[in-house]
Amino acid sequence: MNDRNAPSASPVAGVAIGTVTNPGARLDDPLLLAEQGVYLAPGQAIWQFGQLQLSADRLRFAQPRGVIFEAPLPWLLGIGLTRKRYIVVHKPALAVTYRNPAQPAAATVHFLTPRLGPWLAHLTPLVGGMTPALPPPGMDDREKGSSSGVRVLHPPPAHTGALPALTPQELGRVAALLDDDSRAILAYLADNSHAPLRALAEQIAAPTDMHVLFCIQQAINPAAQAVLGRPILFFAAAQFDQIIGDQVTFEWWLAGRRGRTPPVYDVAAEVYDEDAAFLVVVDLTGAAADAIDCTVSGARLTVSAVEPARARRSVVELPAPVVAAPLRPNFTNGILSIRLEKAREG
């Protein structure tokens, strides 16, 4: 006898919507993440309570009575963020697009959890490091007229250092359109080239990582698109920092940057007056000769040694103006010495 109140059995990743399998089942392999949350199946309007679980080989949503969603990781096609109506408000939701080989088309399921940041960090590398994007507040899938409600921003195929670098003027034009939090995030990345989501959240004392994602996707990149015609912040699951010479994972990068700017250390210099010239001596032990640069302007000598791990600088105010060129520095055993001819008076 058929029960008219029984839920329909629409297949989702091998598990039917509204049905359960293996009541009380547990994953055989250890869980990487597990968190209480709610689940919305494709084409459904009712959220279901349970636990979102991620193991080394599958993503699933389970209830005490059994599993109601399960997908092997190779089935995942896209990870994104969208806004879904939950009770009477719109909330940021994790959108997972997958393809069951037994089904004719891909489908998208949605999850709400207290902490979306860790789920994004674990899942985005599985689909090529795609970056989530939030649609405008107050709009759900039906209001936007899309089937999944997910907009995905693909990171550039090449290193972000290969993209056009931003001038200070361009950064200023974008910053002028931003709120205080978004402006602080952009300024931090302008100084540091790249940073993880947590570090950006700490810079602005954000209540959650989601607030930083909202600033990036709804303020900074749209402002850059408006004034420069292109986004300027990109998420990379893994990218090589060409300055410090190390691999960086799960961080946001500013376009045009090859890596983190090394810290600058001031180095003292000794100046000796030799009547017709000044002899300047700077200790640059450990520096490479080709990393050293010397410039003269009036009575000021600037010596810098910029290397991947650090940058050293010595600004020397001389007692009198000197001849700017030619400079003939001598670098031996880590000691730089420069003899500068005094400029003739009159």
Largest CA distance in the chain: 112
Give the three-class secondary structure for 104.
Answer: coil
Residue 160 is predicted with a pLDDT of 85
Please say whether the structural domain 264-341 has been given the CATH code 2.40.70.10: no
pLDDT recorded at residue 308: 64
Residue 68: per-residue pLDDT: 94
- pTM (two decimals): 0.43
To the question of domain 11-151 being in CATH 3.90.1300.10, the answer is: no
Q: Calculate the dihedral angle through the C-alpha atoms of 27, 33, 37, 40, rounding to the nearest 10 degrees.
A: -70
Cα 300 to Cα 52: distance, rounded to the nearest angstrom: 63
CATH class of 160-254: mainly alpha
Cβ–Cβ under 8 Å, residues 169 and 181: no
- What is the chain's pLDDT, residue by residue, as a tens digit (346 residues)? 443 333 333 334 444 343 444 444 445 567 888 999 999 999 888 999 999 999 888 999 999 989 999 999 889 888 877 888 888 788 888 889 898 988 888 899 999 998 877 787 778 777 654 444 444 344 444 334 343 444 444 444 568 888 888 999 999 999 999 999 999 999 999 988 999 988 999 999 988 888 888 899 888 988 998 999 999 999 887 888 877 777 888 889 999 988 887 777 888 999 998 888 899 999 998 888 888 888 888 889 999 887 766 788 899 999 999 987 777 889 988 899 999 998 887 5
Phi-psi region of 209 (alpha: psi -120 to 50; beta: other; left: phi over 0): alpha
**Which sequence spans correspond to the domains of the chain?**
11-151, 160-254, 264-341
Identify the three-state secondary structure at position 209: helix
- Region for residue 169 given its phi and psi (left: phi exceeds 0; alpha: psi -120 to 50; beta: otherwise): alpha
The answer to whether 340 and 293 are in contact (CB under 8 A) is: no
